């Protein structure tokens, strides 16, 4: 499957996908990496691997809707079968979802529906949960609300701070992302209400 990845930061999830894609039987060809800002390690990782990149900053557009349309058109120009938001810190809008709804994946560093939003690890620590984790989901119009593809539990340790907990979550998050992006790339799949159903035969 052709894959476009959108990033806003360090891009370790992107790197895990790049590394997995190096194996032919993984079934994923990363055709472009897009970002909403310049100068980030995520873009540098793509460039080092010879992957095409693009940047669309919201500030360059009249409003969010215009940015959303431009993003949808740009991603569509690469004709992807799957899109992954890998630490992409913007909400995609209606124009994007009209084209890529049902085949755009995101990860969240908490066990949805707990602790949605920007600070999953911090909020889990503040609440005092003993187990948190990461969630892979199909993007919808909400914040971390889409149909869940997979989840992985991660323990909160006694002396964790936000950064140590987030790093432990990210290790599990990357493994889950790599496993499921490969699975979804190699199968037909569809959404049945909130369930992700895999086709019987690999594509």
Range in contact with ligand GRF (rule: CB under 6 A) among 11-19, 62-70, 157-165, 187-195: 11-19
Binding site annotation covers 146?
no
Are the C-beta atoms of 185 and 28 separated by less than 8 Å? yes
Residue closer to ligand GRF, measured from CB, 7 or 97: 7
Are the C-beta atoms of 85 and 181 separated by less than 8 Å? no
Range in contact with ligand GRF (rule: CB under 6 A) among 3-11, 19-27, 49-57, 90-98: 3-11
By CB under 6 A, is residue 12 in contact with ligand GRF?
yes
Report the alpha-carbon distance of residue 65 to residue 94 in Å, rounded.
8
- Sequential DSSP letters for 14-25: HHHHHHHHTSGG
Query: Does residue 108 have an active-site annotation?
Result: yes
Cβ 6 to ligand GRF, closest distance in Å?
A: 11
At residue 181, the 3 state secondary structure works out as: helix
Can you state the percent helix, strand and coil of the chain, rounding each to 5?
Answer: 40, 25, 35
Are the C-beta atoms of 144 and 136 separated by less than 8 Å? no
Binding site annotation covers 183?
no
User: Residue 159, Cβ neighbours under 10 Å: how many?
Assistant: 5
Binding site annotation covers 50?
no
Q: Residue 34 pairs with which residues in a beta bridge?
A: 6, 54
By CB under 6 A, is residue 170 in contact with ligand GRF?
yes
By CB under 6 A, is residue 173 in contact with ligand GRF?
yes
Residue closer to ligand GRF, measured from CB, 67 or 115: 115
Binding site annotation covers 11?
yes
Binding site annotation covers 186?
no
By CB under 6 A, is residue 87 in contact with ligand GRF?
yes
* Site mask for ligand GRF (CB under 6 A), range 124-163, x = bound: ----------------------------------------
Q: Which residues contact 27 (CB under 8 A, 6 or more apart)?
A: 1, 182, 185, 186, 203
At residue 47, the 3 state secondary structure works out as: helix
**Positions that interact with ligand GRF (CB under 6 A):** 7, 9-14, 42, 86-87, 107-109, 170, 173
Provide the annotated active-site residues: 108
């Amino acid at each position: 499957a052709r894959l476009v990845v959108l990033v806003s930061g360090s891009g370790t999830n992107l790197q895990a996908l790049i590394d997995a894609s190096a194996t032919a039987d993984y079934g994923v060809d990363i055709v472009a990496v897009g970002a909403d800002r310049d100068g980030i390690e995520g873009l540098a990782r793509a460039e080092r691997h010879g992957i095409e990149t693009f940047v669309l900053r919201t500030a360059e557009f009249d409003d969010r809707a215009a940015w959303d349309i431009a993003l949808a058109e740009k991603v569509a120009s690469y004709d992807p079968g799957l899109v992954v938001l890998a630490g992409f810190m913007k909400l995609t809008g209606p124009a994007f979802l009209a084209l890529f709804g049902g085949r755009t994946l995101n990860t969240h560093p908490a066990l949805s529906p707990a602790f949605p939003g920007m600070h999953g690890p911090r909020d889990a620590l503040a609440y005092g949960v003993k187990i948190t984790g990461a969630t892979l989901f199909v993007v919808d119009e909400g914040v971390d609300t889409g149909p869940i593809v997979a989840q992985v539990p991660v323990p909160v340790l006694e002396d964790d701070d936000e950064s140590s907990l987030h790093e432990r979550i990210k290790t599990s998050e990357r493994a889950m992302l790599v496993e499921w992006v490969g699975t979804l790339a190699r199968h037909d799949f569809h959404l049945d209400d909130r369930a992700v159903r895999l086709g019987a035969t690999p594509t």
